[in-house]
Amino acid sequence: MAFLTRGARSLLKSQTYQLESTSSWNLSKTVSFSTRRLISNIHRPSLHNITPRACVKRQILQFLAISLSSSSPARMIDSKRTPSIPFNHNEADVIEKNMLDDGFRTWGLVVYRCTYKSDSDWKEFMRRFLYHVRDTLEYYDGLDMLDSFVPTVMDDKTRFDSVTPSIVRDYFNQWARTTCETEQGVPFDRAQWANTARYKFCIMVDEETLQSVLDIPPEDVEGYNNTGFVVLVNGRWEPRFLSEEEGYTSPPQENNFEPVQGCTLEDVGWMKVCYDRAQIVASAFMRDGFDWEAQYRRPPEITFNC
């Protein structure tokens, strides 16, 4: 099967988009064998003057407290990109460090398009989704990280239309197993445990998630968001039932939650995360199963917000 990036690439290569408010931006993409570069021009008020960013900063500290509390002293040095804040508070720095630790050349979670009702709605979703990747990197003086960002979109109506997260997981794991060595020169048995999340987690967008993003008024796209979400699928997830040996009778309450797509386990293997933070937060801080457990919220709750 051909896994395609045409959804993201066509948007990034030749389209110009405009927010229907006082803000506008241009986004284009140049793709070659040696580099993929994202070139953008922003015409809007300074990000540093936007109040909702303070809420995002508190969110970053939350992730750091959970994921990086045992960091070595070397990781607590000031950031070269933003000398006024520590290295671990700069998400561009953290993503770059993950890549260097893993020997990876590229980063970015794969997006599965699972709704095909409207191509124009999909383009608008991708416009908003990619805008926030650049917006966050710009805030951290990390636009150089766009050179290695690969916004891969799996776009195949015959295979992905209206499928469930479990089916997406199966497709994703097939792709990850056969692609990681081609992309990174790293075998899958090492890549699946790497700090970089590209081959451990993926993003799923169905009609519900797409509409949750499009329902945000254009004038609010740059502001604080706690309603627009995408689905983050854990590729390493396997159903785990608590056993009698662990001190529980069958079936224990922990295995008997309200069904979510037929699953009564507490951890259903996917969760709803804020769309504007999904790509960056997962790439920076979702390194392993401990991070998943720390950030997991059972649907329908939405996480990656303040």
Which pLDDT belongs to residue 178? 93
Alpha helices by DSSP H, the chain: 6-14, 52-67, 91-102, 119-139, 157-160, 165-184, 188-191, 207-214, 275-285, 289-295
CA–CA separation, 141 vs 297, rounded Å? 31
pLDDT at 249 over 60: no
123 and 15 Cβ atoms separated by less than 8 Å: yes
Calculate mean pLDDT across residues 62-67. Answer: 41
Share of the chain above pLDDT 90, in %: 61
| pTM of the shown model | 0.77
Residues in the chain: 306
Listed residue (61, 58, 44) closest to 135, CA to CA: 44
Burial class (CB in 10 A: 0-12, 13-18, 19+), 143: middle
Q: Tokens in use for 306?
A: 């303040």
pLDDT at 293 over 70: yes
pLDDT at 57 over 50: no
Q: Tokens in use for 17?
A: 């988009």
Tell me what the pLDDT averaged over the chain comes to. 78
Calculate mean pLDDT across residues 261-271. Answer: 93
161 and 116 Cβ atoms separated by less than 8 Å: yes
Residue with tokens 């671990």: 88
282 and 303 Cβ atoms separated by less than 8 Å: no
CA–CA separation, 230 vs 204, rounded Å? 6
Burial class (CB in 10 A: 0-12, 13-18, 19+), 261: exposed
Write the pLDDT tens digit of every residue in 139-159: 999 999 999 999 999 999 999
Calculate mean pLDDT across residues 231-247. Answer: 75
Calculate mean pLDDT across residues 102-127. Answer: 98
* 51 vs 205, residue with greater confidence: 205
Calculate mean pLDDT across residues 44-70. Answer: 37
Confidence of residue 253 (pLDDT cuts 50, 70, 90): low
* 77 vs 179, residue with greater confidence: 179
Return the domain boundaries, the chain: 6-68+78-303
Which pLDDT belongs to residue 252? 53
Angle at the Cα of 66 from the Cα atoms of 82 and 258, rounded to 5 degrees: 130
